[in-house]
Chain A
Amino acid sequence: MLAWTIYISFLGAALLMFLPGDNPGPPRVVALLSALAGLFFAAMGIAECCRHSAAGVLTDVVNAPWIGELGIRYHLAADGISLVLVLLTGIAAVAGVLFSWNIETRTREFFALYLALIGGVYGVFLSVDLFLLFVFYEVAIIPKYFLIAIWGSTRREYGAMKLALYSFVGSAMVLVGLIAAYVVAGGKTFDLVELAKYPFPAGFQNWAFIVVFVGFAILAGLWPFHTWAPTGHVAAPTAASMLLAGVVMKLGAYGALRVAMTLFPIGLHTWQNTIAVLAVIGIVYGALVALVQQDFKFVIGYSSVSHMGFVLLGMMTLSQIGLSGAVLQMFSHGIIAGLLFAVVGRMVYDRTHTRDLAKLQPMNLNQVLPFAAVTFVVGCAASMGLPGFSGFIAEMQVLVGAWKTFPVFAVIAAAGILAGIAYTLRVLVKAFFAEGPAELPNLPDCNRISVPERAGALLLLAATLVIGLCPRLLLDLITPSLNSPLMSPLWKAGLR
């Protein structure tokens, strides 16, 4: 069932490529149906996994030989962590299609690339063979370039190329690490489960870990390799920035957790403090930079860097609660960032054609676009980590985990949350609730918020609220997989 999330996305992309005509209608429907089918298969797959075995244990989906000479297998499997992220991908994919409903130019190509990207992302989250994982990881890079370079806005070619090169350099580092691990382990298999059992020598782990980890973490926005993120987000069309922040950054975090940390626990131990420092810098730096931005989208872009810092910090705590907070934060930030980017890019920018906060100030947007204003207020509340939303429980868990491992960092990170509240309120006031002129400005494109937009916003809001009110739904998946045999080397290394 779960494997069909991948196939249906690629099938949808292929179908779109051969669809005749320039009419934007059919491609939208095909894309929406594929995304919905992906979400459906993801949900069914999760239900199936929960029914079959203790939820969270790695369950095989497909396992077939692929390239015999190198021992590469087509091995898909899922545990609780991947299931959570597959679910996130499904939700983000549907919302992204809904918020791209107004794409009129080259609609077919847009959605074909969009679905190819989604397919790659599903693939990464479900692969256990590292070669296969790497294949899907790279498959996800190229569509991003075209989505930004063709349909983007501000400095799109620069942003697209920067993003592509950063991603490719990151994956080059990952490739070196994977090849080295494969060779050292005897050159028989790329299977993560098998490789994780191999005792890599400590000296090897020390360099291999940092190479693979940073290679992945570039995509997760690890400071100081985060600079692609704000420019890429700003240049991207709405759906692409939703996906970038929503799921692509999670690819990096997931890879760092699943590959680097699982394979090289001794190396992880060596670098734990260094990376935690970088993560904390990311949290504070991202928040402070977001505080002074004039471009609405840059604010959200930098806030992504800040929120992803929590994911990385949670992973570095090497405690159960910190790690489960990190995974939950991936889900939560994926939903919330998607929502915020949708408001900025689709609801506001597509109507006002500006993202300059100074220009938005006199527009009285809370009266012109009340639905956008309400959505953004709720999104901001979730982003700030108010109780009742998914972000609260996630960041709380990370902070508790960090308090146990590095108390000082926990305090600094909590200060980062305060800065987060500051920039969120600032942008909220400037964009929507500033004291404008009494009469409403005449905005020609300011039609009402359309049905797809409402549906997408409600979907995302519902996701963050449901998880915020009932985090057990996901924690019941995450916690058992943290205790699974695959992750056990992590805890052994954690006990000094």
Chain B
Amino acid sequence: MNLYLECLTASTPEIIVIATALIVLLVDLTVVQEKPAANRAALAGAITCLGCSLAMAWVALLPSSVHVAMLAISPMTQWLKLPLLLMTVFAAVLSWHQRITRHAGEYFALLLLAASGLMLLISSDNLLMIFIALELLSISLYALAAFNKASLASSEAALKYLLFGGMSAAFTLFGISLIYGLAGDVQLNFIAARLRSQPGEPLFYVALVMTLVGFAFKLAAAPFHLWAPDVYQGAPTPVASFIASGSKVASFFVLARILLTAFPGARGTASLNDFLPGWAPVFIVLAVLSMVAGNVAAIVQTNVKRLLAYSAIAHAGYALLALLADQRHALSALLFYTITYAFTVLGAFAVVGVVEDSGRQASLADFAGLSRRAPLLSFCMLVFMLSLAGIPPLSGFFGKFYVFTAAASAPTQLSLLWLVVVAVGASAVSLYYYLQVLKQIYAVAPPPSSTWPRPAISAQVTIVMLAIIVIALGCAPDLLLGKITALLRSHPF
């Protein structure tokens, strides 16, 4: 087959998503320009969901596995596009009723571009392509974060996000250039081959650490987390939820891909006593800092979005533990953890969004007595918060359990147990602040003179679906885990 044709076939889902973005722009610009903003948002949102569903159907029905040019598509990466697109759909549905902007077309087009960035990001094994996809994703998100023009916080958030993001992208690019200079290639498996033939080149590790800075930024792992609280708080809520969910899953997957494909030998030993250079100690430091900083800072937060931001930092720390696990479990633990986390945090942000829609802020006091006004939403928030805290039988619990078990068994038995102890302890602390939110919702009486407009049906349905996903994946983790492990067993990447 013609190489170009093969390339086009392989990237059809991405093409569908990008074409949808263009259609959204076109329709919004021409057909409904004069209509009220709410209708335009509904139309653009509907087209967005339709496009994403089409891409999902394509991915689900026509699994392909090709390795052409800069694309490395395996059943694993194809499958991973399903949850990512699903998250995009959820974020789009949640944006419908939020009166963030008059520019509905641009908003949804950017969301779709970010989604295509996610999809390209996970379907490449070429450092340059990865970098480009990362930038496509990031730049779309910078713009999305600034979309609430009426809010100064939104602009501040976007500017902060852009400055931090640009800086870390520069680091990453520098790292990639060093790697290219040393290995003579940007293809991950060539780098691995080169590293095998010439082990212990110190510059490799410098290059690796530089590259990792960009990813640590995307994951909001401490000490590269400073943007997260402001962005989560200032950005429009659906955008924040998308940053916290889809963007995180894809970034973690790519990070794992880079590390496990290109640098498996450079893992180093995880025991800090006889210290060897490698990336394991780097991740241990990142993980511990994230878990401690995230959980401690979250305790004193009074804004729920900010609290979720710090909790996201802590969760990045837990997820990093999975990378330190042995090869057999690392990727499946990481994927299970991040995917379930993403759905949970999407749900939590969705509830926050509904509360904001009712004319409130997102401070803790605004949730007081919510259970009396909206029992169903409150129950869903209970599910999301407890899942984040790691209470069974919710998916967050099994995610954590699997990651901790995987980390404890690698690289040699129990050598990383101390790290698991830190993680479990941090997780115990985190229950405190999740319970603070739930205490407001369930135990505190609502303010006497408060109105509660009926939340949008679309948001309610989304939230309930997310809650069902969180409960179902907690009670029967094999639904997701079985799929992941089966895919990984047949095609590692």
Contacts and interface: CB of A to CB of B under 8 A. Distances in A.
Q: Does B associate with A?
A: yes
Interface string B453-493: 00000000000000000000000011001100100000000
Contact of A183 (B392, B408, B482): B408
A131 B404 CA distance: 13
B442 interface: yes
Interface string A145-158: 11001100000010
Interface in B327-373: 332, 371
B442 A146 contact: yes
Contact of B408 (A109, A134, A180): A180
Nearest to A132: B392
A69 B481 contact: yes
B405 A150 contact: no
B482 A68 contact: yes
A451 interface: no
Kindly name the residue among A17, A165, A172 whose own CB sees the greatest number of chain B CB atoms within 10 A: A172
Given A69-B332, A145-B435, A175 B424 contact: yes
A321 B414 CA distance: 38
A417 B22 CA distance: 82
A184 interface: yes
A141 B379 CA distance: 17
Given A68-B482, A176-B424, A134 B431 contact: no
B427 A182 contact: no
A80 B205 CA distance: 59
A70 interface: yes
Contacts of B428: 165, 168-169, 171-172
A164 interface: yes
A470 interface: no
A172 B425 contact: yes
Contacts of B435: 145, 161, 164
B443 A135 contact: no
Contacts of A150: 442-443
A176 B421 contact: yes
Contacts of B485: 69
Contact of A165 (B391, B424, B432): B432
A139 interface: yes
Given A69-B332, A168-B431, A180 B393 contact: no
Nearest to B407: A179
Interface string A189-220: 00000000000000000000000000000000
Contact of B413 (A67, A175, A183): A183
B439 interface: yes
B334 to A, nearest CB: 14
B425 A70 contact: no
A179 B405 contact: yes
A278 interface: no
A66 interface: yes
B478 A67 contact: yes
Interface in B395-451: 397-398, 401-402, 404-405, 408-409, 413-414, 417, 420-421, 424-425, 427-428, 431-432, 435, 438-439, 442-443
Given A69-B485, A172-B427, A146 B443 contact: yes
Contacts of B414: 180, 183-184
Given A67-B477, A70-B402, A165-B431, A179 B408 contact: yes
Contacts of A179: 401, 404-405, 408, 417, 420
B393 A135 contact: yes
A150 B440 CA distance: 11
A164 B435 CA distance: 9
B261 to A, nearest CB: 22
By secondary structure, the B interface counts as helix
A149 B438 CA distance: 10
Interface residues of A, number: 34
B386 interface: yes
A316 B439 CA distance: 39
A441 interface: no
A15 interface: no
Contacts of A175: 401, 404, 424
Nearest to B329: A69
A139 B393 contact: yes
Interface in A437-483: none
Contacts of B478: 66-69
Contacts of B404: 175, 179
Given A165-B431, A183-B413, A138 B391 contact: yes
Residue of A68, A145, A171, A179 contacting most chain B CB atoms (<10 Å) = A179
Given A150-B443, A161-B435, A165-B431, A176 B417 contact: yes
A485 interface: no
A390 to B, nearest CB: 33
A456 to B, nearest CB: 27
Interface string A369-396: 0000000000000000000000000000
Contact of A180 (B391, B417, B442, B482): B417
Contacts of B443: 146, 149-150, 157
A109 B438 CA distance: 14
A149 B432 contact: no
Contacts of A141: 391
A33 interface: no
B492 to A, nearest CB: 16
A183 B406 CA distance: 9
A142 B442 contact: no
A182 B405 contact: yes
Contacts of A109: 371, 442
A199 to B, nearest CB: 15
B386 A172 contact: no
A10 B16 CA distance: 45
B477 A183 contact: no
A187 B414 CA distance: 12
A70 B406 CA distance: 10
A172 B439 CA distance: 22
B371 to A, nearest CB: 8
Contacts of B398: 67
B256 to A, nearest CB: 17
Contacts of B393: 135, 139
A150 B372 CA distance: 13
B420 A176 contact: yes
Contacts of A182: 405
Interface in B221-267: none
Given A157-B443, A179-B404, 11 more contacts: A67-B478, A70-B405, A109-B442, A150-B442, A168-B428, A179-B401, A179-B417, A182-B405, A183-B414, A184-B414, A187-B409
Interface of A: 17, 66-70, 109, 131, 134-135, 138-139, 141-142, 145-146, 149-150, 157, 161, 164-165, 168-169, 171-172, 175-176, 179-180, 182-184, 187
15 contacts: A66-B478, A67-B478, A67-B481, A139-B392, A145-B435, A149-B442, A165-B432, A168-B428, A169-B428, A172-B424, A176-B420, A176-B421, A179-B401, A179-B417, A182-B405
